[in-house]
Structure 1
Amino acid sequence: MAANSAVEVVFGAYPSPIKARLLALRRLILDTAKTTDGVGALQETLKWGQPSYLTTESKSGSTIRIDQVKAEAGRYAVYFHCQTDLVETFRELYPELSYSGNRAILLDAGEKLPEKALRHCVALALTYHTRKRKVAR
């Protein structure tokens, strides 16, 4: 994946503790894409001013966005398309995580990243359309 200078500028503007957490989340998303069958290369871009990850090559999944939670210092989130059932599915699988409506998993910069759960949620988002197409057949 080629570096996107606009995304780099956004990462550079985050406060230090949040920036470190968001960069760790970015690595987790990119690594999960590489190790999940059928996803292919991701496109990193900005959507609504937030670093976003799209499966433009394979069209296998739904867009994932990451950002700090502006209204709550020390919090950041992984955002998913609100018109999917992704967050509803995540709630069933991982009730211990914090959520915002049907659109985000909320994380705290002072806590350890729930890596195993997040990898699974990210993999489900990155393969969302592939799974929906199989169900429709």
Structure 2
Amino acid sequence: MKPAYSSPEIEAAFAVFDPLAREGLLRLRQLIFRTAAETPEAGRVEEVLRWGQPSFITPETKTGSAIRLGVPKGARFALFVHCQSRLIPEFAAVFPAWDRFEGTRAVLFDDPAEVEPIRHGWLIKRALTYRIRPPLEVPA
């Protein structure tokens, strides 16, 4: 079944990815919307384009840090967050040795099967509520 996109531009952005990357990115997109539906404090999530890539923001509540989906240099596809946030360091501390990262800005994937709803849903929920959740105490 073809996913419903918020605009023809968003649909076109997904169309430029190779089929395996597109499948993985669509899994992440579905996980973003599912996690948002289970996180009422985040409010409505809007799908927009940022730097030509599908991005997800919380326009009314402004509780979240933008989540962006795209293709990095070192992997088939990735979930990006703001590089100056503490999201990736917290995620890596809670789930050590599970994922590959591009600095503090992205979780890298090579196969759609690597998208794990519990683990990556945790990161998405933290991003959607970034401005209202206290930072985690991360062990040193």
TM-score class, shorter-chain normalisation, is: 0.7 to 0.9
Write out per-residue CA displacement over residues 13-50 of structure 1, whole angstroms, 9 at most, x where no aligned residue.
21111111111110000110110130111111111111
Aligned-pair identity (%): 34
User: How far apart are 1:112 and its partner, in Å?
Assistant: 3.2
Matched, 1:88 2:89: yes
User: How far apart are 1:110 and its partner, in Å?
Assistant: 5.9
Pick from 97, 114, 118: which aligns with 1:112?
114
User: What is the rounded CA distance, in whole Å, between the counterparts of 1:13 and 1:39 in structure 2?
Assistant: 29
Q: How many residues align?
A: 131
Pick from 96, 100, 105: which aligns with 1:103?
105
User: How far apart are 1:51 and its partner, in Å?
Assistant: 0.5
Match of residue 78 from structure 1: 79
Correspondences of 1:1-137 after superposition (within 5 Å): 3-69=6-72, 71-72=73-74, 75-95=76-96, 96-109=98-111, 111-132=113-134
User: What is the rounded CA distance, in whole Å, between the counterparts of 1:110 and 1:27 in structure 2?
Assistant: 12
Q: 1:51 to 1:110 in 2, by over 3 A?
A: closer
Instruction: Give the SS at the match of 1:11.
Output: helix
User: How far apart are 1:115 and its partner, in Å?
Assistant: 1.9
Structure 2 unpaired stretches of 5+: 135-140
Q: Which runs of structure 1 show a deviation greater than 3 angstroms over 4 or more consecutive aligned residues?
A: none
Q: Normalising by structure 2, report the TM-score.
A: 0.86
Q: 1:114 to 1:5 in 2, by over 3 A?
A: same
Q: Normalising by structure 1, report the TM-score.
A: 0.88
Residues 5 and 11, structure 2, Cα contact 8 Å, conserved in 1: no
Match of residue 138 from structure 2: none
Q: RMSD across aligned C-alpha pairs, in angstroms?
A: 1.9
Instruction: Decide which structure has greater helix share.
Output: 1
